[in-house]
Structure 1
Amino acid sequence: MSRTLQLAEQLISRPSVTPDDAGCQAILAARLAPLGFQCETIVSGPDHFRVTNLWAKFKGFGDPAHAGQGSSATDSIAKAPRTLVFAGHTDVVPTGPLEQWTSPPFSPSHRDGVLYGRGAADMKTSIAAMVVAVEEFLAAHPQPNLSIAFLITSDEEGPSVDGTAVVVQQLKARGEVLDYCIVGEPTSVDQLGDMIKNGRRGTLSGKLTVKGVQGHIAYPHLANNPIHRFAPALAELVATEWDKGNQFFPATSWQVSNVHGGTGASNIIPGELVVDFNFRFSTESTADSLKTRLEAILQKHQLDYALKWTLGGQAFLTTPGELVQAVSESIKAETGLVTELSTTGGTSDGRFIASICPQLIEFGPINASIHKIDEHVLVSALDPLKNIYKGVMERLAAL
């Protein structure tokens, strides 16, 4: 059995429904520690939602022993290679109705060359491929011109409050320097390697309460209908061009997801209207600029309102450079494909890591079955995925 497949099955066998890591990270640490990684477990969150994070870094770099004969510790640190971080999550979404699964979701099974199990595509096979790729890379290059680290969380599928975001804040406080990051999200569409994500749109949500005066519907002059008051502002918000996007991002969009008003009775003018909305924004806008523009429209229409904002993540973008080139070349060498750069889709933990890492991409297996019943991945794709990750390290180490 392929070592990548063996580790993937070992991880899938753990019922790590968010935020429970179910021992997955201990398995990873047991593989990484003998290679020379310093493995640190960072636990965060309240008792009812404890999140486990693993930060593991190859500990040889910065050690005078790696600097060569006669070099000082200062020289060694100054010449320390750049750092590549492999990032991902061991938590998975709930299984859904067990009776609808063809085979138990946490008992990896094979049918017609396909590996089935919760987390098979999102994203335990990516993590397995990363670990085996590092094992093979360090076996061939015991002292490479590349520092390697892993950032693994059990809170990506959950609130994403006590996972990667917490680790990033700790790394920032320590002054850790990260140069490159590959997040193992399932990004491929039809074939392994046909798409990588070099950025993601930001997400900004708002809960708007438009205040009015409740009254009898037969006496509108004694009331103030917040639905009527908001309607002209809504029309302007829908018609507003927030930005035009750019070569990597579509234009920023504003969408209403929920509207609540009224008591349920047909003869009462409501006293307030509650509107939930969301921006998915490009790097041409910022959260602050969007807030300012939206509130200016509300004020223009003289609304009496309250507004609560929730920033789910800033937009980020990695323009073509060393990392994009290394990943693209490695994909082409292994699959023959010319990969497509994309910023489509929802959010990922890349939004946190991008704040301390200038070059970040997401790349992993085909995403068609993620979060579905009978989640799966092609067995034939596992070792090519591992080879691509290994090829990226080789190319970056050669810079």
Structure 2
Amino acid sequence: MEYHDSEKAKEVAGRVEAFMDEVVIPREREALATGEEITMDEIHEMWDMAKERDLFAPQVPEEYGGQGLDFSDMLPSFEQVGRSLIGALAIRANAPQEGNMHTLEMVGTEAQKEEWLRPLVQGEIQTAFAMTEPKVGAGSDPKMLQSTAVKDGDEWVINAHKWWTSDGLGADYYLAMVRTDLDAHPYEGTSIIMVPRDADGVEVQRNIPHLGGHGITEREGGHAEVKFDNVRVPVENTLGEEGAGFRIAQMRLGGGRLTHCMRYSGMAERSLDIAKAYLQEREAFGTKLEEKQALRHRIADAETRLHAARTMVRHAARELDRSDARIEVAMSKMFTANVTNETIDLALQCCGGNGIGKDLPIAHFYENVRAFRIVDGADEVHRRSIARWAFEDVDEAEIENTLQFDEDLRIDTLDE
């Protein structure tokens, strides 16, 4: 299909595709066949190769070590990395690091960018976005945020209980969303504060067991449950304006949802390619499976819906350049999450025993994609936003923030 991406976008995506086909996917296949973990040393070697090919961190400005692509131009490359379980990691475009880089780039001071953004881009440090809370805390309704930070001189004193903090096990810093003005509405009284992992009072309690996780890399980012008990950090660790945490997080999420959509579109495309190849080879009941009309029609439906999802995402990306595009992003995210779930499910069904086996990546994709209908905003909350727009009952004085359930759960092409 021709999506009329810019020449720059197509040229870079073509080089990313070649890198996936020549380097990344062959190593992934080997790891799946042997059960041998891909080491971080190997990932670092891939980073070096990506740098040599001018593919490393395509979403980051050149001055910080990336390729400096515009948002719309980088989306086709994100679709290509989604075809591999380790694709995004291989070029340093993996969540949540990608979103955290974007956040630091948007609102960080020059000093903060030098301290955190530059080493983050190069993989010298890792970060995690800590928003979601257990039990009565923030989830689908972010206004229920319980975490607090109180000023004591030139320090914040932070008390919080977070979970589903993606990459939280190996993070050097947490971007913690906490209430800094309890008298204000949470939308106006919440801030994002950088918290070092080694600060007194930070306790990583566990890695939450979860659906998915392919286990072919030694990377142990996990989805952590973390407690902050009277943790003291300098006030200068505040990202952006004090009280602007929700607005900053919303900016982070708008683009992040679309990059997730493209990664999962790539995952669905590869699953469908594997399924079509299998149907062309496999015989049953006297003919090749590709000749069975029921299967042909289901493949046709999947191709059509996947094309529609890709088109919606590109449209939302164009609108995001001009406005917050909340509804366009919500539609794209909800629709793409369901289409990619259905497509990968179909691919697995077409491949039968080979589909549920883990010699192929489809079973890993199947486990990973289910969470996409919950993370970065559950289907139901996106539908709520779309319905409010459809019935014109949105209160413009209080634009609904959609930091929905487990939005910080890392769902990329690794173990998300």
Larger Rg over CA atoms: 1
Name the structure, 1 or 2, with higher relative contact order (CA <8 Å, separation 6+).
1
Query: With structure 2 as the length reference, what TM-score do the two structures score?
Result: 0.28
Decide which structure has greater helix share: 2
Decide which structure has greater strand share: 1
Query: With structure 1 as the length reference, what TM-score do the two structures score?
Result: 0.29
